[in-house]
Structure 1
């Protein structure tokens, strides 16, 4: 135990998750932005496989389409589309920050909630339009 009182009162690192640090919307959106980038990359491999099967002919395409149209394929595509739209909306938010717009705390939180809501609405709209077509 340290006898120096000034050392004991130092602020804790924000990376100490748990009872020491309360996650904030801005940090959660930052982590989500990074994770959605990873999911987009992996999902793009799924889409590339679909294009390759399409080019390979009807036999390969029918096998691939079977999995894409199954519930798990649809769930993966839905997750991929939400990740793509969230990443896009949050990227636009970051572009605003790059030019100096919305840097105050109130606007940062408002734009964060807007990103979440708009990405969800756009994902649902894309899927409604896809099923309607």
Structure 2
């Protein structure tokens, strides 16, 4: 059998030395919130369909939707909706060629995060 000579190569950076940037975190969060909105939508559609099916089935769906779990799902869905909306506006701003420098992109990222939290709190207090 022939001798196999191993080539010494540098190791790729791993998460131990890689610091995620805010722009990558907000991009990932946009995808997560977009998919997460499905959970609240499914719960709302189930509640509406149950109302059309029968009173007993509606009572079950209503119990879930008005429980602590339903409140949590709808509150997180409100946050996801606000975040996804603000991130979409941010993306349109980027598409127009504005705010592409790192400090502005980071300020807009923090604006999306803080703005979505503030708008969610206002939504929960008003509704």
TM-score band w.r.t. shorter chain: 0.7 to 0.9
**Greater mean deviation of Cα atoms: 121-130 or 43-52:** 43-52
Larger Rg: 2
Larger relative contact order (C-alpha < 8 A, sep ≥ 6)? Answer: 2
Indicate yes or no: 2:114 matched with 1:109.
no
**In structure 2, the residue corresponding to 1:114 is in which secondary structure?**
helix
Query: 1:1-133 residue pairs with structure 2 within 5 A?
Result: 2=7, 8=10, 12=12, 17-130=14-127
Q: Secondary structure at the match of 2:26?
A: helix
Mark the runs of 5 or more structure 1 residues left unpaired by the alignment. none
Return the alpha-carbon distance in structure 2 between the equivalents of residues 53 and 17 of structure 1.
49
- Please, what TM-score do these two structures have when normalized by structure 2? 0.86
Q: Which runs of 4 or more aligned residues in structure 1 lie more than 6 Å from their structure 2 counterparts after TM superposition?
A: none
TM-score, with structure 1 as normaliser: 0.82
Query: How many residues in Structure 1 have an aligned counterpart in Structure 2?
Result: 122
CA RMSD between the two structures: 1.9
Give the CA deviation at 1:53.
1.5
**Runs of 5+ consecutive residues of structure 2 not aligned to the other structure:** 1-5
